[in-house]
Amino acid sequence: MDLLCVCEPRFKRALLEIHVEVPLDGDSPARTLLVSVLEQGSAGHPSRLALARALQEAWGADLDLWADRNGEVHRLTTRVSWVGESLLPAGADVVSGLLPLAREVWEAPRRGEDGRPFRAEVVEREREHLVKRIRSLRDDRAAWAEQRFLAHMCADEPYGRPPWGDEAAMAAVTGDDLERVRLAALSGGRVLAVAVGPVEEEPIEEFLAEWFRDRAEPPPLPAVVQRRPGERREVREELPGEQARFHYGFRCPLPEDEAGREALLLGVSVLGGGVHSRLFRKVREERSLAYGISARLRSRKGLLTVAAGIQAEHADEVRDRVDAELADLRRAGPAQEELDHARRQLEQRLVALSESPGALAAYLVREEVLGLRRAPEDRRAALRSVTPAAVAAELERPIPDTVYLLAPTQP
């Protein structure tokens, strides 16, 4: 179990996140349901109401559990956050009750009758909620389009499968399944904790050590599947709606060396990382084709993806513009001014990490799981040495894979 801790008394809110990482696999739907069931109460706080009241009593503390996809890992996160005690009346003690609460929901869930691991009606109700939520996912066109895009692009890879599975998989999960994946996650998942804000490291370290003391070393997480694309695929699907959603995916493994990684990151920023980027200027400002268009690097999986909301008839033009700008950046590199704009923006974001507990925690975890562990100051220094030629060279990495369009249904 690793703990990353930044004690920063300037923060008004403290947070502790405990991530348990296991492979994305056939048990992912059960884990998704598990976190919903755990939020319904524990042995000591036997209802959602009781948990919520305990958090209100603690001056508006939060305890949130969720499961999501991070690369090809299923990450189960428990986040506790609370207002810094120096801002509360003298004698207010928030943290001593909150940390045990986080452990209690995982280790002492509310049990069912007749020795069942969970209450049957709770499992049934939460499962039904999730089945209905899966059924209505397409109501959110933007989220649905991204899901379908990843499902096509990574069809035979864990990354292409949504962690909640499908309606049938979710409907088949039993209370016994939940208990099995709970125990497996606690005993065999990779645990990574991060604490940021007005916190003291020692009590948190002791709390976590006590919680996870009897665990054996967890097995390593499987390597990320990297498929080499062949011909670029074009996929079009339709759904009733107002706007088409465009996605363009490239295979793009991260460079091994630090200089290469920073050059690639700057290249992606120049391509589509904000209002300074090529795509924003060409697609939005010059052609008025989109409100927003952006490129992002999915580092843990090794993908570069571009997304925009457009009119369907403009999809080919947007695709060709992405190709043209990428080709131009490979050939000539970014202009020095473009590179400077991208660099300043990334530098500002690194500086801004010191102002937000959530952003700082996310940064620390990301660096840890990528095995990089770079301090923000070191990254800023590395960014300053990137040249246009280095950016051009690193942008040779992305290989076109899939163009996906979710278009409004033709009348």
Partner 1 sequence: MNSVETIVHPQVREESTRARAENGAEVVVVRRPGFAVSAAHVGLRFGSNDLRFRLGDRIVEVPPGSAHYLEHKLFEGRDEKVFDRFARIGAEFNGGTSFTTTTYYFTASQAFDAGLDVLLDFVQDVLLTEERVEKERGIIEQEVRMYDDHPSFHGVFLLHRALYHRHPIRHSPGGSVDDVRRITVDHLRDCWQAFYRPENLRIAIAGDLDPEAVLARVEGMLRPAVLTPPVERLVVEEPPTPAASLLEEDFRVTRPHVYVGWRDPEGPGLGDSGLRRRLLGSLALDLVFDLASPIHEDLYQRGVVDDGFRASLSVDADWSYAAAGGESDEPERFLAEVAGAAESARDRVREDDFERVRRAAFGRLVSSLQSCSAVAGHALHAMLQEVAPFAALDLLAGLRFDEVRVRMDELFREEHRAAAVLRPEGG
116 to 174, 180, 315, 326: CA distances (angstroms):
11, 12, 53, 57
Report the alpha-carbon distance of residue 228 to residue 219 in Å, rounded: 27
Within 10 angstroms of residue 192's Cβ, the number of other Cβ atoms is: 20
Question: Is residue 378 within 8 Å of residue 128, measured between CB atoms?
Answer: no
- Options 117, 162, 165, 241; binder of partner 1; rule CB under 8 A: 241
Cα angle 391-245-149, degrees, rounded to a multiple of 5: 70
| 226 is a site residue for partner 1 (CB under 8 A) | no
- Options 132, 366, 373, 384; binder of partner 1; rule CB under 8 A: 132
Residue 1 one-letter amino acid: M
Please, which of residues 46-85 interact with partner 1 by CB under 8 A?
47-49, 52-53, 55-61, 82-84
Instruction: Give me the least distance between CB of 224 and partner 1, in Å please.
Output: 31
Please, which of residues 107-126 interact with partner 1 by CB under 8 A?
125
Q: Which two tokens stand for residue 341?
A: 């704009």
Please, which of residues 141-200 interact with partner 1 by CB under 8 A?
141-142
| 366 is a site residue for partner 1 (CB under 8 A) | no
Q: Is the dihedral of CA 167, 169, 173, 178 positive or negative?
A: negative
Radius of gyration of the chain (CA): 23
| 269 is a site residue for partner 1 (CB under 8 A) | no
- Options 218, 354, 362, 399; binder of partner 1; rule CB under 8 A: 354
Q: Which two tokens stand for residue 319?
A: 């695709």
Q: What does the per-residue mask of binding to partner 1 show for 296-315, with x meaning CB under 8 A?
A: -------------xxx----
Sheet holding 2-7, edge to edge: 2-7, 190-197, 13-23, 73-83, 62-70
Instruction: Give me the least distance between CB of 343 and partner 1, in Å please.
Output: 8
Question: Is residue 22 within 8 Å of residue 76, measured between CB atoms?
Answer: yes
| 384 is a site residue for partner 1 (CB under 8 A) | no
Instruction: Give me the least distance between CB of 48 and partner 1, in Å please.
Output: 6
- Options 43, 64, 108, 135; binder of partner 1; rule CB under 8 A: 135
Residues that bind partner 1 (CB under 8 A): 10-13, 36, 47-49, 52-53, 55-61, 82-84, 86-88, 125, 129, 132-133, 135-136, 138-142, 239-243, 275-276, 284-285, 288-291, 309-311, 340-341, 343-345, 347-349, 351-352, 354-357
